Amino acid sequence: MLETDLERTGFERIVPKDASMERIPCDCSFGEGPVWNAREGYLLWTDIVGDKILKWTPGYGISTFLSPTGHANGMTYDRQGRLVVAGFGSRTVWRIEHDGRIVVLASHYQGKKISTPNDTVVKSDGAIYWTDSFGALSHPGMCGDDVQRYLDFCPVFRLSPDGSTLTPVADDFESNNGLAFSPDETLLYVNDTRRRHIRVFEVQPDGGLRNGRIFYEMEKEGMAPDGMKVDSEGNVYCRGPGGIHVINPNGNLLGCITLPHLTNMAWGDADWRTLYVTSHAVVYRIRLNIPGIPV
């Protein structure tokens, strides 16, 4: 299940030799966007095709958290503990308030409808970043009646902390997807599915991005980059050929956690040392030695 060159990389320091992969079977067509609720101790993830958000609580099992969702994709929590959702099919970014109301945070840029928000992260200052690709527009059953492209680029958008200003902070992707901050938030990693690489940007004091460069390139065959997370030491975890590629901050591959058909991942449990991984019809969980970045 787990493969690595331990002598060359010391990967065993991250993934124990005796690590086991637990399976959480679920009624799911296309699992994505997992996020751990630290306050109440449960996992949420989206079923894009099934148009719902599922909830798994240890000791209680799986239930439907919300349906329909507008074919939601990536999810995270903001600084106030509100769920922020990339509305892949609804072509919006929205949030669930503490009283249960759903509030649309963004739907247009310069008067034009945005494309299909894929994944999202929230910075410590409250700014929301997301990848906006054309993904749902070409997938029947994942989008509404309007599949017109109004923007001619795939940006990373940033919504200011007060929600008043929407800015494309990077705009030269072919099909951007997963994104994640470094532990100190000075770097933002963004992968490009079609180009099969991860880029890294320097985050500026005003929230903008500069000096983008190729951080890691993947093989031409097998699964392309998708979900991505960073641990507390700055190692990057990204879906790729063979499973989850674990890459050190210098861009060197440490090893691969072998899994079939995975989509995305999230840190969870009280110590943030469990990696939850979504797939098409199952959620995996594996205990690691290094904790992730808390959400």
- What digits encode the pLDDT tens for the residues 82-121? 999 999 999 999 999 999 999 999 999 999 999 999 999 9
Would 73 be classed as within a structural domain?
Answer: yes
Q: Does a structural domain hold residue 295?
A: no
Whether 170 is in a domain gets the answer yes
User: What one-character DSSP code corresponds to residue 233?
Assistant: T
Check residue 5 and give its pLDDT: 45
The answer as to whether 132 is a domain residue is yes
293 found inside a domain: no
Q: Judge contact between 75 and 85, C-beta under 8 A.
A: yes
Q: pTM for this one? A: 0.94
Strand 128-133: give its sheet, edge to edge: 116-122, 128-133, 154-159, 166-173
CATH number at residue 31: 2.120.10.30
pLDDT, tens only, 46-87:
999 999 999 999 999 999 999 999 999 999 999 999 999 999
Average pLDDT, the chain: 93
What is the pLDDT, as a whole number, of residue 192?
96
Helix (H) or strand (E) holding 9: helix 6-9
| Residue 22 within a domain | yes
Question: What is residue 7's predicted lDDT score, i.e. its pLDDT?
Answer: 38
**Which pLDDT value is given to residue 17?**
85
> Which amino acid belongs to residue 29?
S
Range of the domain at 30: 2-287
Number of folded domains in the chain?
1
User: What is the pLDDT, as a whole number, of residue 9?
Assistant: 52
